[in-house]
Amino acid sequence: MEMPVVSRVYLTASVLTTAACALDLVSPFNLYFNLSLVRQGQVWRLFTNFMYFGSFSLDFLFHMYFLVRYCRLLEEGTFRGRTADFIFMILFGATMITCIAPFIRPSIPFLGSSLTFMMVYVWGRRNEHVRLTFLNLFPFTAPYLPWVLLTFSMVLGNPATIDIIGIIVGHTFYFLEFVFPVVAEARGWPVRRLLHTPTVLHYLCGTYHEEAPGAVRVDFAPARANAAAPPPPVAAAGGQHPHED
């Protein structure tokens, strides 16, 4: 099955960035997030730090698995036919993570892992009835997947900061996009939606359409694709979530 366009572009950019670093065409020191250097005009760091997941290794493969799997599941499920909204979700997550990163000590040079974890969180909340297993031993439902991965990562001695940032950002997006509109509609609040995909994204993606004033888009049902073909046990990913050193 062909990979959807946004997931394919992100995967391709990540692999090419890693390959360029492995061939010494580009140095990771020119890619990592540094707010001081961004202020000096190196604005590309705002984007490239989300594309580098370390050198080619088993850890890199784990990163790619989580990136491809949950990015693809969201794009084919919850955001099927809504490419502009999916791109907006990624931009929202990347922007919020970038705003949080300067306040974290020690600093996090590459933020792609947090963005991936955000996607895992959103997918889990949108597929609450999907059942998973950890190492084929512990069954649980999809909303607990981020917490299972976080706990296991901490047991292995990895820092929890990267995953926690992803959880915070993922929960913020989930609440603003899927919970707040329902609450606002039920209580008759004048503001029904706080997140709006820019019209220019809809035009670029060919998904622009007129909506009635005050219309609320509500979709709490799990995606058909995900419900019909639930993902394999977490153990298929190697049983752990990758982290930057």
Phi and psi at 112, nearest 5°, equal: -60, -35
Is the pLDDT confidence value at 225 over 50? no
Enclosing H/E stretch for 217: none
- With bands split at pLDDT 50, 70 and 90, how would you rate the model's confidence at 156? confident
Q: Binning pLDDT at 50, 70 and 90, where does residue 59 land? A: confident
Q: With a cut of 70, say whether residue 86 has pLDDT above it.
A: yes
Q: Please count the helices (runs of H) and the strands (runs of E) in the chain.
A: 11, 2
**Amino acid residing at 86:** F
Q: Tell me the C-alpha distance between 6 and 70, whole Å.
A: 12
Which of the listed ranges 40-49, 212-221, 236-245 does the model predict with the highest average pLDDT? Answer: 40-49
Q: In b/e form, how buried is each residue of 79-94, taking b as 16+ CB within 10 angstroms?
A: beebbbbbbbbbebbb
The CA-to-CA distance between both ends of the chain, in Å, stands at: 34
DSSP three-state, residue 234? helix
- How many residues make up the chain in this entry? 245
Report, as an integer, the average pLDDT of 91-114.
93
Quick one: average pLDDT of 180-189?
92
Q: Give the confidence band of 34 by pLDDT, cuts at 50, 70, 90.
A: very high
Q: What is the pLDDT of residues 187-208, one digit of tens each?
A: 989 988 999 999 999 999 887 7
Q: Is 159 exposed, middle or buried (0-12, 13-18, 19+ CB in 10 A)?
A: middle
Q: Of 79 and 229, which is predicted with more confidence?
A: 79
Q: Label residue 219 by pLDDT band (50, 70, 90).
A: low
| Four-CA torsion 132, 136, 138, 140, nearest 10 degrees | 0
Q: What is the pLDDT of residue 56?
A: 80
pLDDT band at 214 (very low <50, low <70, confident <90, very high): very low
At 45 the pLDDT is: 95
Residues of the chain above pLDDT 70, percent: 84
Higher per-residue pLDDT: 209 or 50? 50
What value does the mean pLDDT of the chain take? Answer: 84
The predicted pLDDT at position 212 comes to 43
3-state secondary structure of 164: helix
pLDDT value at 245 more than 90: no
What pLDDT, on a 0 to 100 scale, did the predictor assign at position 243? 46
CA distances from 171 to 53, 60, 176 (A): 23, 26, 9
Q: pTM of the predicted model, to two decimals? A: 0.82
